[in-house]
A and B are shown apart, each in its own frame.
Chain A
């Protein structure tokens, strides 16, 4: 039997081993990967020293895939098979996507999320995003020279459940272990807050290529508490490009354009937009495939005029988030600007005017999200560097509810609830003898189900026949720390219990992920079996390490025979993990997990008691309520 080293409580017994963890900003336009190196968050660059990776995926005729700068540069050559801004399609049905008719892609009839036909086969936005993630993962593995324990992937705070689930699936497809989905503005707040030792209420205004988020946070001695969040998951720099494009089409009196020309002009419009940030006037010139020439001048004033509605569209969610937080603009101590599109002077001015203070621009709006994600990944991986004892309390952006009679929504969890959170609601049957109930889970603020996003439908069967109104069906919503929802339902009055757990329907089913993984692995050298075995072995090692660390800290919570049972289970698992029988490893893991259940409870209990005992009772002044 192994001998344990007993360390001082609170001190980890495991030798200080740096775990490789990364943070990924999966952007509409640009993506980045960062990590913490010697206590400092840094972006990892490509071989040519560039940190940004354009989120552009090109499928060549031979089925090969290209991601990044070259795909972006040549996007007008084959727009149909060069996918840009795929983030706007994540977790979306065809009918939900704005300007879909202007997209040159070949959409395939499919229920649920849209799918695109490419020379490499029919691809979902999840698979396309996975290409971007894979490119970044490979960059990280090459730069760090070792196996990654996991990644934190950022998502717009205003992403709904379907979009989050899709993002997590994409990361899993890319072979990443997702430590956490992190909201983009929160990631920025972490990077900013830790760097500047900020305290008080801050707003993060994040306008990227395709999404807009506003988050209001309170920073108190290392705790980042999101008070409210809002936004628009289909509003960003792309829309400013589109406004210029419409202006060009009108000014130059262009006839309906071919996809190649549309792309070409959109690229010109984006260049012009960026140019106008530092110049009074931009020239837009292009030779179309019809050999028609476009040659126009756009000045700052015109640009501001044609995009004014977009700018004020961002202020609505800002107002609402402040109201939800119970605050006024002048309660905000600083406004952190994130996202490339916040470089536009009209945005800076509008935000400055609204809050009556200069926005904070002393950080790189492109990198700050990735840096914050890396910082959290480092913490979650268990790399302690001393000063980083901080905690993040985030919220869900949109209310979660159920459909009730008459197509109305009944809210179960309100927006801006701190996660993780759970809530239960009871429902009853409306017909005598009714034995099944269909449950429809929706997300959104509107009263009518039709105006909310449908997340999942499932049926609870096996309700014993009773008179109408007698059954008690308890539907429980649980939102985890990634902001992902699971729902279960159970009939309570009789001994009969029926319960079901659903994952919202827009994510990929687990077997679908397995299939895609296996398909892609069929091309690779090692097959799915060895991969699964490797994963089990890694998992086993992790479990042994965690258990030993727990024993080292808290063995005093156990009776001698309990300690013996746990150490025996560890020894068994260690032996199993040395072999190549995956089933045996998994069984040994289950055994160890079983033996440590009670231990985990006692540790949690002790931990809470300890932190509260640190406070003396006489500290509790009996203040008047607010």
Chain B
């Protein structure tokens, strides 16, 4: 194993979107337990540098695999796909229209200080996204249709952004 090994092999996990997250958590802790700079505080300079590189890599790998969106993007990247390749115009008009409607609803609720409406929107959106992630899992793991998957992931990037906007709006109402 070396520093350029992919994130899945770093934790000796199968290269797939459907991932046992608690298992990832505990493997991450195990690996950090071996490579973390605190384990090498009195080692040679070279070993300390090596440890910092490994620990940095393990952190990056964990952050990427933990969240479904970054995990999906990473898998696409490993399979030679590029989510950024096409721009939004390639996205279906329906999707873009739905997006605008969502945004308007959020803005309205925010302006009106409507906490309940924001929460409702949040829950509806995250419910919708859960279904979309299932689909991404099927496309990536079962059908290996990376073009379709890339398209779905691009949509999810929009939706994640929207979700965090609702979250921000909720937080600003709380303060």
Contacts and interface: CB of A to CB of B under 8 A. Distances in A.
Contacts, number: 141
A317 to B, nearest CB: 11
B143 interface: no
Contacts of A608: 1, 10, 31, 34-35, 54
Interface stretch (B37-45, B83-91, B116-124, B148-156): B37-45
B97 to A, nearest CB: 28
B93 to A, nearest CB: 29
Contact of B29 (A220, A609, A620): A220
Interface stretch (B15-23, B98-106, B107-115): B15-23
A154 B34 CA distance: 24
Interface in A273-326: 316, 319-320, 323
A481 B37 contact: yes
A621 interface: yes
Interface residues of A, number: 57
A253 interface: no
A323 B134 CA distance: 26
Interface string B1-38: 11000000011111011111111010101111111111
Contact of B52 (A417, A420, A612): A420
A421 B27 contact: no
B66 to A, nearest CB: 9
Contacts of B175: 316, 319
A605 interface: yes
Given A420-B55, A611-B30, A621-B20, A593 B45 contact: yes
A593 B33 contact: no
A543 B31 contact: no
Quick one: which of B41, B56, B63, B175 has the most chain A CB within 10 A? B41
B133 interface: yes
A612 B18 contact: no
Interface stretch (A441-449, A464-472, A596-604): A596-604
A65 interface: no
Given A319-B175, A418-B59, A625-B68, A611 B17 contact: no
A422 interface: yes
Contact of A597 (B21, B38, B46, B71): B46
B55 A179 contact: no
A605 B35 contact: no
Contact of B42 (A421, A546, A609, A622): A546
Contacts of B30: 611-612, 614-615
B50 interface: yes
Given A604-B51, A608-B35, A625 B42 contact: no
B145 interface: no
A568 interface: no
Contact of A391 (B10, B21, B32, B51): B32
A449 B90 CA distance: 35
Interface string A570-601: 00000000000000000000001100110011
A546 B45 contact: no
A223 interface: yes
A360 B42 CA distance: 35
A381 B42 contact: yes
A200 interface: no
Given A316-B175, A420-B55, A619 B38 contact: no
A551 to B, nearest CB: 13
Contact of B38 (A380, A478, A600): A380
A547 interface: yes
Given A607-B35, A620-B23, A149 B1 contact: no
The 5 closest A-B pairs by CB, nearest first: A380-B41, A481-B37, A623-B20, A612-B12, A607-B34
Given A179-B41, A419-B59, A604-B50, 17 more contacts: A221-B29, A223-B29, A223-B32, A380-B38, A391-B38, A392-B38, A418-B62, A420-B52, A420-B55, A480-B52, A542-B42, A592-B44, A593-B45, A604-B51, A605-B1, A625-B17, A625-B19
15 contacts: A381-B42, A392-B38, A420-B52, A480-B52, A546-B43, A547-B44, A600-B47, A604-B34, A604-B50, A604-B51, A608-B31, A612-B11, A615-B27, A615-B30, A623-B23
Interface of A: 149-150, 179-180, 220-221, 223, 225, 316, 319-320, 323, 376, 379-382, 391-393, 417-422, 478, 480-481, 542-543, 546-547, 592-593, 596-597, 600-601, 604-605, 607-612, 614-615, 619-626
